[in-house]
Structure 1
């Protein structure tokens, strides 16, 4: 993009909205609207996966005057009400992606939740008990969903810049700081393949609260862990990351 057409994207994740958070985020969302053109929220929108928490978030988002795009996280699935949470937010002008893409300001955004499975040479393999195979298959399926969403963006908008939203991490670098024992539950290298295949410019995720803000894939894709605790360690007054494209 030329300087004239540059856009600012504000990204954050793991806001874990509770029913007691009424009014907590309004000022932040207002500030984001002043500093960015688009806001991304990368999962764990709610704290316990409750629809009342989603309604609180929907009310807080009324303070945001820019487009908001998000994906769900593992907390949003806790009570099995993820479809209702998504519906509530989408009825209140938030775009919640789950294997879909959307174009805003000449940028293509594709989003999935993602899943675990480990990284690089320590990825779990589809071998052994059915339960282990099902665990690995979930990461495979999420990766395929992301690939299809990015492919549709390419098909409908050849040459468009693409950005991916996930909740789980696609690389190890942005989860470093978490206990190594839980790496398999923080993300999966299987999520990297569609980023490389579809030439994604950058990807944002959360979930790893003690991880690192920035990383890069072996293919040069920029990765940002925008989990709220990571952002708070950087700047408590501005718990969001601004990315210019």
Structure 2
């Protein structure tokens, strides 16, 4: 079985003022990898105009692109339009689904907040808290559906929020509950998963593992990686 080289990055935060172009980066990635994964926060404010700029930059990418949305992509309540623009640009945009490319199943969803381990938020008290916890549980279920749908022997989980606390280390501990949820790791560990990528924690650590041993990589563009570049390279 031949290995698949995956370039993974997150938190591009494409802005409407076009202060940064990713054309050259995507061309570089196309030479370095077989698939590009973008783990959320593709846009800065979730504006369709930002998505259009990203779609234009992606024309320089000659390999398949897989992505999930992040919290910033929801900011302007234009998720359907942003998603439509990216899908038209050829992006495999995952929201509880999977797609198989060259024998690897890419399984993705945004994820959500909730905290880690015994400090996870429980569905107790005000309706707003119960709604928040339900959203976290629903995202874990979306991930489970994606993992159940793939028949590939190798699976890469794509999230925006972190499934473990190790890869958010470096962020203020007070905001850990807003950076991810152990519910995602609990779901991951019920399946055979080759690797997990996420973003969101700009000041986090690059690598960790779920309690079950699945390797997890924080691929936020701001996080230092072995490549010395904004993206990581994973061989699956």
> What TM-score, normalized by structure 1, do the two folds share?
0.93
- Deviation, structure 1 residue 22: 7.0
- Deviation, structure 1 residue 232: 7.3
- Deviation, structure 1 residue 21: 2.4
Matched with 1:141 is 138
Task: Work out whether 1:165 is the aligned partner of 2:151.
Answer: no
Aligned length: 236
Name segments (4+ residues, structure 1) moved above 6 Å: none
Task: Work out whether 1:39 is the aligned partner of 2:30.
Answer: no
**Any conservation in 2 of the 1:118–1:189 contact (CA below 8 Å)?**
yes
Matched with 1:112 is 109
Distance in 2, Cα, partners of 1:9 & 1:232 = 14
Which of 190, 193, 204 in structure 2 is aligned with 1:200?
193
- Superposed, 1:91-240 pairs within 5 Å as 91-153=88-150, 157=151, 160-231=153-224, 235=228, 238-240=229-231
Distance in 1, Cα, partners of 2:225 & 2:88 = 30
Matched with 1:241 is 232
Per the alignment, in what secondary structure is the counterpart of residue 16 of structure 1? coil
Distance in 2, Cα, partners of 1:141 & 1:50 = 25
Higher helix proportion: 1
What does the per-residue CA deviation read over 1:29-73, in whole Å, with 9 as the maximum and x for residues that have no partner?
000000000000000000011000000000000000000000000
- Deviation, structure 1 residue 231: 3.7
Distance in 2, Cα, partners of 1:39 & 1:231 = 18
Matched with 1:62 is 59
Distance in 2, Cα, partners of 1:89 & 1:133 = 32
- Deviation, structure 1 residue 23: 6.8
- Deviation, structure 1 residue 193: 1.8
Structure 1: gaps (5+ residues): none
Per the alignment, in what secondary structure is the counterpart of residue 101 of structure 1? strand
**Any conservation in 1 of the 2:195–2:215 contact (CA below 8 Å)?**
yes
Which of 71, 75, 83 in structure 2 is aligned with 1:74?
71
Distance in 1, Cα, partners of 2:105 & 2:144 = 13
Structure 2: gaps (5+ residues): none
What does the per-residue CA deviation read over 1:158-217, in whole Å, with 9 as the maximum and x for residues that have no partner?
x52111100000000000000011011000000012211122111100000000000001
- Deviation, structure 1 residue 20: 2.4
**Any conservation in 1 of the 2:8–2:233 contact (CA below 8 Å)?**
yes
- Deviation, structure 1 residue 233: 9.9
**Any conservation in 2 of the 1:166–1:205 contact (CA below 8 Å)?**
yes
Per the alignment, in what secondary structure is the counterpart of residue 88 of structure 1? helix
Distance in 2, Cα, partners of 1:73 & 1:193 = 21
| CA RMSD, 1 decimal | 1.4
